[in-house]
């Protein structure tokens, strides 16, 4: 990026550097993002709450005060299941219309302490679940942006904000990233503190990030983990990549299949050791296992809402809660055991590989916005608690974005980001290739 680049198109890290050097101001950057929102929001509808005057006041405060940290003066978006003390947190539900918590979620507080401007709250599916809001895909307003981090994916893809927080219980960070043609990162389970998030399913929920640049993901990860901000680097040894079609391959559409084959071929030609990776038979139970855990834990998390506001809960979420309530504790504990066995087994299977490549989603974003897409290609890895990232990898038959998903072993997040950097820089897997 250069100063010739429109300010609203700057990435998080580049914008932070330019503000720190005095080449741009936070107010100018935030103003540019707000102008983009004013231009496009009637179509994209990515924001559930935004106050331009308050955003500009935050920016002016950054410009007139000392630097607070590595995000000083840079705007970010916050998915509306994460609490903010100065903005409504409505969780995509009429039950919480106008709710104003007295605190920030941990990730919001840490970003704010590092100098970030909280631009606004982004649209979420109801309780980070299955019932979408009004957000559309920036590439085609007749299609879904994915969910449940709908607004975060759309806002970043449409250059309204450089980075936004999401959450993932099934595929709620990676699917919007894939459908909108940007990057989505779900860290190892538990990496980012979840205080201040409205739980969907507590054994699955993971706070994640959506951005347009890998360095931006690494920078925000450093802020949230109190670690040194180190840009992704080239792996020192030959990268070992397992190409994993998974037991869901029959659901993969032509665009997803072509993207995976393209990425694997490019990686092989660039010098990686690439071979097929097959999940053992017990892993084929993971989609059903995740559904059991999701339904039971949603029913428990939403016990108050179910008891007092049942009529305000969508039919899709109602069905999930009913299934959860009908599941015995014995069935729930059996599902937990399946998940833990597969996690331990995957730790062993990863011995021959640094990372895996698999489809980010089953294909392009579906038509219509009433359905946010199939979460199964992301959900099995969410259940396994491994770090994953979706990278843009071209367009499908309908000229909509498709992505590839890269996966590393649990706690191998640095390895994941380095491998993604290699795939982009050496193999050329990045962007909406024509």
**CA nearest neighbour of 192 among 166, 228, 156:** 166
Q: Greatest CA separation found in the chain?
A: 61
Catalytic residue numbers read: 79, 148, 172
Backbone angles phi, psi at 233, to 5 degrees: -125, 165
**Number of neighbouring beta carbons within 10 Å of residue 286:** 24
Strand, coil or helix: 265: helix
Virtual torsion, Cα 229, 235, 236, 237, nearest 10 deg:
160
Strand, coil or helix: 326: coil
**CA nearest neighbour of 79 among 6, 184, 7:** 184
Structure tokens at 16: 């932070």
CA 69 to chain centroid, in Å, comes to 24
Look up tokens 């059991």; give the residue: 292
- Please, are residues 26 and 64 in contact by the beta-carbon 8 Å criterion? no
Assign residue 17 a region (left: φ > 0; alpha: ψ between -120 and 50; beta: otherwise).
Answer: alpha
Distance (Å, rounded) from C-alpha 37 to C-alpha 40? 5
């Amino acid at each position: 990026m250069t100063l010739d680049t429109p300010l609203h198109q700057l990435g998080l890290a580049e914008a932070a550097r330019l503000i720190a050097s005095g080449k741009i101001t936070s107010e100018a950057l935030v103003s540019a993002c707000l102008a983009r929102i004013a231009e496009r929001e009637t179509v994209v509808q990515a924001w559930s709450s935004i106050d331009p005057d308050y955003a500009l006041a935050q920016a002016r405060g950054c410009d007139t005060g000392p630097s607070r940290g590595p995000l000083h003066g840079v705007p970010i978006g916050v998915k509306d299941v994460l609490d903010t003390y100065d903005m409504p947190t409505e969780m995509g539900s009429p039950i919480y219309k106008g709710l104003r918590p007295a605190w920030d979620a941990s990730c919001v507080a840490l970003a704010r302490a590092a100098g970030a401007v909280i631009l606004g709250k982004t649209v979420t599916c109801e309780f980070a679940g299955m019932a979408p809001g009004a957000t559309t895909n920036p590439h085609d307003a007749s299609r879904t942006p994915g969910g449940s981090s709908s607004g975060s994916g759309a806002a970043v893809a449409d250059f309204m904000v450089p980075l936004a927080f999401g959450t993932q219980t099934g595929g709620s960070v990676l699917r919007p990233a894939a459908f909108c043609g940007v990057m989505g990162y779900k860290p190892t389970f538990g990496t980012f503190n979840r205080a201040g998030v409205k739980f969907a399913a507590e054994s699955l929920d993971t706070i994640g990030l959506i951005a347009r640049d890998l360095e931006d993901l690494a920078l925000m990860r450093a802020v949230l983990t109190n670690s040194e901000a180190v840009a992704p680097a080239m792996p020192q040894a030959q990268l070992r990549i397992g190409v994993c079609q998974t037991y869901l391959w029959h659901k993969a559409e032509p665009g997803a299949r072509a993207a995976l084959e393209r990425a694997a071929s490019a990686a092989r030609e660039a010098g990686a050791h690439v071979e097929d990776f097959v999940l053992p038979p017990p892993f084929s139970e993971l989609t059903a296992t995740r559904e059991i855990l999701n339904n039971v834990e949603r029913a428990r998390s939403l016990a108050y809402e179910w008891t007092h506001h049942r009529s305000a809960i969508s039919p899709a979420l109602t069905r999930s809660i009913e299934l959860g309530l009908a599941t015995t504790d014995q069935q729930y504990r059996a599902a937990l055991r399946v998940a833990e066995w597969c996690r331990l087994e995957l730790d062993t299977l990863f011995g021959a590989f640094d990372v895996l490549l698999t489809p980010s989603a089953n294909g392009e974003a579906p038509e219509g916005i009433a359905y946010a897409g199939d979460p199964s290609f992301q959900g099995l890895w969410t259940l396994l608690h491994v770090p994953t990232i979706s990278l843009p990898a071209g367009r499908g038959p309908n000229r909509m974005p498709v992505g590839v998903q890269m996966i590393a072993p649990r706690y191998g997040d640095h390895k994941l980001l380095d491998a993604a950097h290699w795939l982009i820089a050496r193999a050329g897997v990045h962007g909406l290739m024509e």
